Structure 1
Amino acid sequence: MLNSQPNAEARRLDALHKLNLLDTPSSEAFDRITRMAASLFKLPIAAISLSDANRQWFKSRVGVEHDSIPRLRAPCGQIADSSDVLVIPDLAQDDYYRDSLLAAQGIRYYAGAPLTTNDGHCLGAMCVLGTEPRDTAPEELSALCDLAGMVMAQIELQHALGRVDAVSGLPNRHQYIEDFHDLQLDAGDNEQRLAVLLNLATPDQLNHAARAMKSTYLDELVTEGARWLREEIGRGQRIYHVATAQFMLLSPPGRTLAEWLPKVEARMQRAQIIARTHHVATPSAGVVPFEVHHDDALSVLRKARSAAFDAMARPSHVAVYSHEEDALYQRRFNLLNDFSAALTSRDQLRLVFQPRICVATDACLGAEALLRWNHPTLGAVSPGEFIPIVERSGLAQATTAWVLDAALRQQHTWRQAGMALQVSVNVSAANLSEDGFADSVHACLARHHLPPDCLELEITESAIMEEPLKAHATLADIAALGVGLAIDDFGTGYSSLSYLQKMPADVVKIDQSFIRDLEHGARQQALVKAMITLSQDLGHRVVAEGVESEAVLAFLRDAGCDEAQGYLFAAPMEAPAFAAYLRW
């Protein structure tokens, strides 16, 4: 995974720097807490220490002359790394700290409690120090943690952007987090609650409105949504404005999902009517049952958002949090993050090759290059799982570039061994809208000293339809290079016949959904035969995908199909196995 320690430290430092505390004058609000710490412990030294990248800077200090020390071997730096309380009864007896700067200055005792933000970033420590070894009573540590909490409350008071949203007039995300923490302190053992997140509009609706509507549209949507919620929920319950167009509320104790869910669904029906009447918006609601002492504020908020997004596809526009669906979404998200690293690794990604066979002669005319991923911890990840995720992400262009380079490198190796055939590579919608894609294909061919006709690019109709004008211009440039073009998954798009006329394609590949079990369906046979005839009449060669039986092959031969691809001939093979297949 990508949650590495260096990234965590970068986020921690970013949280510290955003507060603008470093190198600022001391204030009585902080000095009062520091003096209280020294007095409670009856020690000469106390400090509010903030851990920067290479130093410990003191926002407030008692008994310390300098305002900073190096972070190396500083106990407060260890707290910043661990976010845990640290007590060192005697630095002179500690293997790690006996040679530290503090020990050299005569410090023998140290105790520190972490200064932690609501987002979990440790800024530094509230610490006390002494020149003699000593023990620490539990009540002293408890008091030190309370003082650290007072420091963070003061920091938040000075630097948080208030606790009430200016547009909705409702408590904001900061207040939700604080109230949730208070709820955990007051709740009984095993207390169950419900959280409901209302999403006023889908992400696409908000994006389109931002481009097409007046600038006050979102403010009006939020203001009316907040007003409606206050009327629906009443004065006795707090509503939080936790994101741009999202509101959160927590159930009173004792409410059950069976009791609350019908009420949420009824209110969402009314919300749909209002949204359709006054705004171009589709509200949705996510409901999360949670155990107060088991879940934290941000975890409940994330789960509620996940459920609200699932609700967008439900007729009621309400969904209860599903651990299974959430786990699937998180897996997709993690796979996408991990795939970025896979693109730069040497041993995770590889290509396999499936032969394309001449129906009339049984000769192998080419191969389709297919991407495979061996994840370092998950093992083999199905291409059906990771490729759709990657194609919808910002990694689509880099992935095609990787596949294209690897396929042409292998093509060069085969040609040096006397094996001349065409290799097909799949191209995504992102490539067709990419400026200079045809130039990058030409450059890759030149880099591997290969002729253009050794390569074929496969494009789906749906990919072309995302940006038709741009896609057709790109395809025309590629065709002008002499590179082959194939319409992949033919028959599954929305405008198959029109695209047959417009695309500068050489090949049409009939989708495997039409080919499997072809021998058992007369209507399906008639449809496939019509596809073959029409495509050939328009000047295209036809490839049938997913051929798995001799009966299907016999039908395709009688129908005049040009090529076939499928498990009847061979499964996708590693490069050495494919070379052996050709020689055999």
Structure 2
Amino acid sequence: MTCHTEAARLDALRKLDLLDTPPSEAFDRITRMAARMFGLPIAAVSLTDSDRQWFKSRVGVEHWSIPREKAPCATVAETDGFLVIPDLLEDPHFCDSPLARSGVRFYAGAPLTTRDGHALGAMCVLGTAPRQITEAERDALSDLAAMVMAQIELQHAMGRIDPISGLPNRNQYLDDMGDLDRDRPAGEARLAMLVHLANPEQLANAGRVMGPSYVDGLVTEAVRSFRAEFGAAGKMYHVAATQFIVVVAPELSLDECRVRLERWLQGRGAWSTSRFVTTPAVGIAPFAVGGTDALDVLRTAQGAVHDAYATGVQVAVYSSSQDAAYQRRFTLLTEFGNAIEAGDQLRLVYQPRIDLATGACLGAEALLRWNHPVLGAVSPGEFMPIVEQTSMARPATAWVVDAALRQLRSWHDAGMPLTLSVNVAAPNLLEADFAQMIAAQLRTHGVAPERLELEITESAAMGNQAAAESTLAALHAVGVRIAIDDFGTGYSSLSYLQSIPAHVVKIDQGFVRGIEGDERKRALVGAMASLSHDLGYRVVAEGVETAGAAALVRAAGCDEAQGWLYARALEPAQFAQWYAGR
């Protein structure tokens, strides 16, 4: 087991609060049954702690625990597998174990496994003489282990009925779905419907203002009305505070489900006192009996609910393509963190910025590239929007700034007096110590602050104005340059733009590409350049791909240009060669 897995297993064991608890007749009855069935003197319900085997129940054993080292039950917990040792003295690993020295020769143990796959220990039987085990005995011991786990769940789960809704809870849903796999024909097509009574923001606002009793009432009235609409056509389970899942009867089709759901939702005026402050949504997940895990049914139905909220509808059916897209997004996010640690997957490439008056290269924009060992090249247009919405934004920007400044220092040492621009994500502007981090990086690499330019979008600056203004002011005090990226595509007000301590405006490439044949674009670029100059900004035109476009943006008043006309994004050595050729 890895350390992480072992830590999770121990956490699962301790959450059940079983260790060092008094004897229980419910467990002792199963242990006595095991000893009788096998005709052996010793049986135990053994739990594997970090350094010991502790017996929740035991027959033929005087002590409550033994050291974990070289205990067969520890091997069962570590492997989550059935273990049989016909003769401990003949086994090279256990021949010198404390059990063998105490006279035990035979051991058989079945794992005690939680729903989440954590092996807590073993249901074991032991004898003082060597012996074999039959398939029937193996099955019997596995059944006894399952009985022990059922008893553990019965004693430590918080019941099976939700006290507010009166519905069976999530544990019962999981059990019943397991029964469905056994009792219904394999492959039978079924439907599950997950109902969210409110989106997270609505729920938080309602709970904050009205208190938990408001949410309780929301659940009670919804369950009552839903039962009236669907009756025996579906079994309901309360799986979260304001969520319930319904396993639909086999005779009810998808179209019939939709009709009933629409009728229930349209009738909210009759049964809902919260219809003006909450928006319910329902996700429908088709599944095949025996072919889909109960938790996966819940997951896919949850995904359909999110699709419903995202598209502004109240009922959505699970989409495999949408699910695949979200799974890939999650994979990319997880793998990106590994990429930062790996050190050989991420790199920067550099696109030149050209002074339109002189044709000189004044600087470059650093652009992040990711080459995954399995997924291959991943587009920044795919992974950066995901990264920027999470806590990964901070380490990602820190990595880029560090790599960019290292390269800039190298170019300066080689006689290339460039300015380098780096993109900054919206969450970076909310970091209280972001300016200090930038200042520390500049000192580490020995780069003058005015040689670093940080690009922010209008939308990022507007996301949290107070925090953004504070961070931008601190960056301005450090001495770095600030550029407003993708100008013209955001939603910021002119008065707020005037307050940003920026030096550069970069006109979005959408206004520049095709400018030769579009008079409106020429007018817009001219207006934006004029406005930017009035506000004291230097103007860069992005996406310049032709000489004609370069001439037009220069005529419109732009100071610099960036685009494929001059160079695509270049590897560091290619950039140095290109620069030397200028």
**The one of 224, 228, 233 aligned to 1:227:** 224
Decide whether the 8 Å contact of 1:275 with 1:282 is kept in 2: no
Decide whether the 8 Å contact of 1:268 with 1:316 is kept in 2: no
How far apart in 2 are the matches of 1:496 and 1:327? Answer: 38
Report Cα offsets for 1:222-251 as digits up to 9, x if no partner.
222222222222256431110111101101
> Which residue does 1:189 correspond to in 2?
186
> Which residue does 1:24 correspond to in 2?
21
Q: CA deviation at 1:103?
A: 3.5
> Which residue does 1:566 correspond to in 2?
563
Residues 132-531 of structure 1 mapped to structure 2, 5 A cutoff: 132-234=129-231, 237-271=234-268, 278-495=275-492, 497-531=494-528
What amino acid is aligned across from residue 385 of structure 2 in structure 1? P
Q: CA deviation at 1:54?
A: 2.7
How far apart in 2 are the matches of 1:463 and 1:273? Answer: 43
Q: CA deviation at 1:496?
A: 5.2
Decide whether the 8 Å contact of 2:189 with 2:288 is kept in 1: yes
Decide whether the 8 Å contact of 1:276 with 1:282 is kept in 2: no
Q: CA deviation at 1:42?
A: 1.0
Q: CA deviation at 1:116?
A: 1.8
> Which residue does 1:49 correspond to in 2?
46
How far apart in 2 are the matches of 1:34 and 1:429? Answer: 60
Decide whether the 8 Å contact of 2:229 with 2:260 is kept in 1: no
Report Cα offsets for 1:257-298 as digits up to 9, x if no partner.
344333334433434886685451111111111112122221
- More displaced stretch, 116-125 vs 101-110: 101-110
Residues 569-584 of structure 1 mapped to structure 2, 5 A cutoff: 569-584=566-581
Runs ≥4 residues deviating over 6 A: none
Distance 1:47 1:276, change over 3 A: same
What amino acid is aligned across from residue 211 of structure 2 in structure 1? K
What amino acid is aligned across from residue 505 of structure 2 in structure 1? V
What SS does the corresponding residue of 1:313 show, helix, strand or coil?
helix
Residue 11 in 1 paired to residue 18 in 2?
Answer: no
Report Cα offsets for 1:283-317 as digits up to 9, x if no partner.
11111111121222211111111111111133432
What amino acid is aligned across from residue 47 of structure 2 in structure 1? L
> Which residue does 2:540 correspond to in 1?
543
Distance 1:230 1:259, change over 3 A: closer
What amino acid is aligned across from residue 57 of structure 2 in structure 1? S
How far apart in 2 are the matches of 1:236 and 1:500? Answer: 58
Decide whether the 8 Å contact of 1:544 with 1:561 is kept in 2: yes
How far apart in 2 are the matches of 1:479 and 1:394? Answer: 24
How far apart in 1 are the matches of 2:456 and 2:209? Answer: 32
What amino acid is aligned across from residue 431 of structure 1 in structure 2? N
> Which residue does 2:115 correspond to in 1?
118
- More displaced stretch, 275-284 vs 5-14: 275-284
How far apart in 2 are the matches of 1:244 and 1:573? Answer: 52
Distance 1:338 1:211, change over 3 A: farther
How far apart in 1 are the matches of 2:493 and 2:273? Answer: 35
Distance 1:24 1:107, change over 3 A: same
What amino acid is aligned across from residue 467 of structure 1 in structure 2? N
What amino acid is aligned across from residue 181 of structure 2 in structure 1? Q
Q: CA deviation at 1:198?
A: 0.3
Aligned residues: 581
Unaligned segments of structure 1, at least 5 residues = none
What amino acid is aligned across from residue 39 of structure 1 in structure 2? R
How far apart in 1 are the matches of 2:231 and 2:338? Answer: 50
How far apart in 1 are the matches of 2:345 and 2:249? Answer: 50
What amino acid is aligned across from residue 195 of structure 1 in structure 2? A
How far apart in 2 are the matches of 1:389 and 1:116? Answer: 36
What amino acid is aligned across from residue 328 of structure 2 in structure 1? R
- More displaced stretch, 426-435 vs 497-506: 497-506
What SS does the corresponding residue of 2:311 show, helix, strand or coil?
coil
Distance 1:35 1:224, change over 3 A: same
What amino acid is aligned across from residue 173 of structure 2 in structure 1? Y
Distance 1:272 1:385, change over 3 A: farther
How far apart in 1 are the matches of 2:65 and 2:372? Answer: 45
Report Cα offsets for 1:367-403 as digits up to 9, x if no partner.
1112222224323221111111111111212222221
Distance 1:231 1:56, change over 3 A: same
How far apart in 2 are the matches of 1:552 and 1:233? Answer: 64
How far apart in 2 are the matches of 1:211 and 1:464? Answer: 29
> Which residue does 1:72 correspond to in 2?
69
Q: CA deviation at 1:569?
A: 1.5
How far apart in 2 are the matches of 1:254 and 1:274? Answer: 27
Unaligned segments of structure 2, at least 5 residues = none
What amino acid is aligned across from residue 443 of structure 1 in structure 2? A
Decide whether the 8 Å contact of 2:111 with 2:122 is kept in 1: yes
Decide whether the 8 Å contact of 2:233 with 2:252 is kept in 1: no
How far apart in 2 are the matches of 1:158 and 1:311? Answer: 38
What SS does the corresponding residue of 1:210 show, helix, strand or coil?
helix
What amino acid is aligned across from residue 245 of structure 1 in structure 2? T
Decide whether the 8 Å contact of 1:405 with 1:444 is kept in 2: yes
TM-score of the superposed pair, with normalisation by structure 2: 0.94
Q: CA deviation at 1:538?
A: 2.2
Decide whether the 8 Å contact of 2:186 with 2:288 is kept in 1: no
